[in-house]
Amino acid sequence: EMQLVESGGGVVQPGRSLRLSCAASGFTFENHAMHWVRQAPGKGLEWVSGLTWNSVFIAYADSVKGRFTVSRDNAKNSLYLQMDSLRPEDTALYYCVKTFGDRTFDVWGQGTLVTVSA
Amino acid sequence: QSALTQPPSASGSPGQSVTISCTGTSDDFGTYNYVSWYQHHPGKGPKLLIYGVNKRPSGVPSRFSGSKSGNTASLTVSGLQAEDEADYYCSSYADSRNFVFGSGTKVTVL
């Protein structure tokens, strides 16, 4: 069974940093582009960032560009999101997502909650 | 990167059909047909229902169908069932590896 398990969420003060991790299992991780998608409380889904299987192509939403850094370790079947200069509006449930054909999000984790508050 | 526009809510009685629209610009959809639909129950990760405008992954019932005309994509749920009550989101691959989601539609089964 394909599975994604996020970790690393928590409560952090504005301006501080947090690193999210995602452990993948049940599929060949190195063959697939991976992404992060978030959902703020009471809001809809928002694409955050993604990268290709070999990390050659990386993209970010305008709302996080310059503050967040996505990376992956194919040897460890893991995806990461380094979040710096956090803002209250970054408060959200962050999902790790696998792609199918690089254009479709086909497997989602359960999410890890990030709360940015003084 | 504005969200695609969906109606906030939709409803229907068991057995009826409901159609959800997803409207964007030509920049949102481009010349691609990479429109997907997701079902999201609270407390769970979203579930892929439709990809490539009208394709269903294995295991998704045939009563879920998708279409697209111009800059509007649609999801139709036929033969509504109680378990279909959830939030539904459309998504499109825009360009340069960017993606955009719809604003979300809450479907209520009356």
The three-point CA angle A95-A4-A113 to 5° equals 35
Q: What is the pLDDT of residue B109?
A: 95
A63 contacts on B by Cβ (under 8 Å): 1
**Cα–Cα nearest to A47, from B5, B93, B39, B68:** B93
Q: Where are the beta strands (DSSP E) in chain B?
A: 9-12, 18-23, 35-40, 47-50, 64-69, 72-77, 86-93, 99-101, 105-109
Q: What is the pLDDT of residue B2?
A: 78
CA–CA separation, B101 and B104 (whole Å): 8
Residue B30 pLDDT class (50, 70, 90 cuts): low
Phi and psi at residue B64, to the nearest 5°: -100, 125
State pLDDT tens for residues A43-81.
999 999 999 999 999 999 999 999 999 999 999 999 999
Q: Answer whether B23's CB lies under 8 Å from B5's CB.
A: yes
A52·B97 Cβ contact <8 A: yes
A106·B32 Cβ contact <8 A: no
CA–CA separation, B9 and A29 (whole Å): 36
Of A47, A101, A109, the CB nearest to B101: A47
A44 contacts on B by Cβ (under 8 Å): 3, 87, 89, 101-104
How far B35 CA lies from chain A's nearest CA (Å)? 8
A46 contacts on B by Cβ (under 8 Å): 3, 101
